[in-house]
Amino acid sequence: MEVFAQRLKALTVLEFMADAFVCFAAAVLAFKQLGSLPALISEPRVLKYAIFFALCMALMYTFVGLYRRGAALVGIWALVRRAFIAVFFGACIAYLALKIDGQDGYAIKLLGRVVCYVAVGAIVVRSFSYAARQSALGVRRVLIVGTGLEAKQVAADIHRAARTPAVLVGFYPTSSDERTEVESARLLDASKNLEQVVREERIGEIVVAVRDHRGGGVPMSDLLACRIRGIRVLDLAGFYELVHSEVPTDSLKASWLVYGKGFGQSPARIFFKRCFDIVFSTLLLILASPIMAIAAIAIRLESRGPIIYKQERVGLGGRIFMCRKFRSMRIDAEADGVARWAVKNDSRITQFGMIMRKTRVDELPQLFSVLRGEMSLVGPRPERPAFVAELKKSVPYYDIRHSVKPGVTGWAQVRYGYCATIEDSRRKHQFDLYYVKNNTFALDLLVLIETVSVVLFREGSQ
């Protein structure tokens, strides 16, 4: 199932649907047990409340990151804490909705029952989900073509994948491999042709872990026969994009970018993205205005200097624009005029500046740049001209990120940590390439939702 331009696994989708159903059923059951309400069929308002609560809780679960890739790896108590936060805020919203509708007479008693039912339902859903992940049901069987270092890395990625249950059947040798780096016990019989091995081992996916396909080492005719049969065949770049949601630059060929899918920049996409930016940046500025006022006062009280910090950044098409942020560093942070990377625990950052960076409050003035059309809500992080000139020399295809507007938040910001070196920038650029290649309105929504989780639980640093 292709959703948000990514392959959301069936178990994740089922978890979402099961959670929504549990919340709906919990609300209906709580209403019915109060005893003072008519039957559900004769009381459509009950159904309306239940649907509202289910949608509200589904959003809360999403915002706290319960469906994020790798959520299963954060630990059981972290998941419980996130679920508790979601239920708390969901119950508060439901309580306010009941009061506004004039039903506050039994709101507390009703929500108490609902929360208990939701807690039990959440335990049941997660228990079934865990059991399903441990079983072999729905697990795809993967064959790796190649036995070199790349094949070894692909095997490690398959084992580490959180929400992508898979069984590595083995490695099929090719004449392109100079040296075997994988365990010999998993080597398959090279005397059989690839199509025969795929049929006998019931393979559902093939990963070609060979960098150089020239010279006839890779059995292209067999791969084509498997592809025609419906077997998914991925090269290294395609596998990396699927598993890590980033585009690798070290093994990337221009032809893969030219002939592959993606890079959709239709006039309709640009128009609707601009409309979305205007509407939601205006709304966010209105909602965040009290926070921005407090931040401005705190900056003025803590240190002398301007409240808003202006800095040249590179935007769409390589054009320079002035990026505005709340000042989080001392005014003498770059007194010598030399551009420096910000690092973790940077001594130049003020005490309140550290708080603003952790909560992303310092980024709020960039919403004015969104209104002016210099930035978008979602896109690659805009870099300084000095850093861009340096990165273009060492990072392949770096200019591709300038084919879209820079963003207040982005795929790289929610998927990668703090960026303080050229190597960090190289890694973040791989996420930016993924966003530019797969940019859709739905992916923008996913980034915005995950940004909420990142800010709440400090899963990112900038």
15-74 pLDDT, tens digit each: 888 889 999 998 888 877 776 554 444 467 778 888 888 988 888 888 887 777 655 545
Band (403; pLDDT cuts 50, 70, 90): very high
318-362 pLDDT, tens digit each: 999 999 999 988 887 666 666 666 666 677 888 998 899 888 899
Backbone angles phi, psi at 7, to 5 degrees: -90, 95
DSSP 3-state assignment of 285?
A: helix
Mean pLDDT value of segment 358-377: 94
pLDDT of residue 40: 44
107-146 pLDDT, tens digit each: 777 788 888 888 888 778 877 766 665 554 456 789 999 8
Domain ranges of the chain: 2-134, 140-244, 267-333+340-457
pTM of the model: 0.76
270 token code pair: 């640009």
329 token code pair: 């560093």
pLDDT of residue 135: 56
Residue among 438, 80, 77, 66 at smallest CA distance from 247: 438
Say if residue 212's pLDDT is above 50. Answer: yes
Provide the CA 101 distance to its chain's centre, in angstroms: 36
Residue 108 vs residue 223, higher pLDDT: 223
DSSP string across 297-331: HHHHHHSSS-SEEEEEEE-GGG-EEEEEEE--B-T
CB 323 within 8 A of CB 312: yes
pLDDT of residue 206: 94
Question: Which CATH number does 140-244 carry?
Answer: 3.40.50.720
